[in-house]
Copies of this chain bind each other. A is one copy, B any other.
């Protein structure tokens, strides 16, 4: 049984993991650390963690059974490197990073070797457009898909329990290889993010010099505008690492969308527009 968990990065996702673990009946000890003292204090105040680790060294010495890396992707890669030499094969490290290929490649080099800890790459498809422990919820993962992209054939003794706890969060657990993971996520997550950022940035640049026009845009825009620009609130700090570690798939989906928009633009007055709406209707009918 898992007794001690360390959550590295107690922002929205990390703190929600802590709250969900407790809501799901985990009675062991949860330690937490965050690069921001504010986030860490908020996670402790919210009861997402039992103990705030005071330093990076304290994380390395936390002697947890399971480490949950819940920072953006590049710091996850850094923590994987820092933790590998100090952990042993009794310990399981998992993460919640948005891209998996770079993490899995590094896991294959540093983990799952004789005497080394096991790494189980994970990715909950949940979040909010704004981050922070203050927005954390025990129910954040309820109904969401939680992907794993295993790199080891031999399951670690804690793996089955961790998967069961994640399922206990209300998440639908699904396994995928890292490469298709990053490609599918480019389509269903990274492309919607980039187009929402593009639309919001375009509207800002087009209207921000004219206060009356911006007021009209904000007043007139309805639910459609709110929803298509909502992800425009997302923080660069997280998405920089996604763009850095999944550049090619994201670039490919962006190019495909640019071409599709051009096709619609060239066919606003032709029956081809009917085909586009019919095809889009088909996609939505499956949901």
Contact = CB atoms under 8 A, between A and B. Distances in A.
Contacts of A286: 214, 218
A222 B261 contact: no
Given A125-B220, A197-B264, A222-B125, A278 B236 contact: yes
Sorting the interface of chain A by its residue count into under 10, 10 to 19, 20 to 34 or 35 or more gives 35 or more
Query: Which label, helix, strand, loop or mixed, suits the secondary structure of the A interface?
Result: helix
Contacts of A263: 198
Interface string A248-287: 0011001111101111110011000110111111111111
Contacts of A205: 279
Contacts of A191: 199
B225 A189 contact: yes
Kindly report how many copies of this chain are found in the complex they form together: 2
Given A217-B188, A224-B193, A240-B273, A268 B281 contact: no
Given A188-B220, A225-B188, A254 B265 contact: yes
Interface of A: 125-127, 129, 144-145, 147, 172, 174, 176, 180, 184-185, 187-189, 191-208, 213-214, 216-222, 224-236, 239-240, 243-244, 247, 250-251, 254-258, 260-265, 268-269, 273-274, 276-287
8 contacts: A129-B284, A188-B221, A188-B225, A194-B264, A195-B228, A199-B260, A243-B273, A247-B269
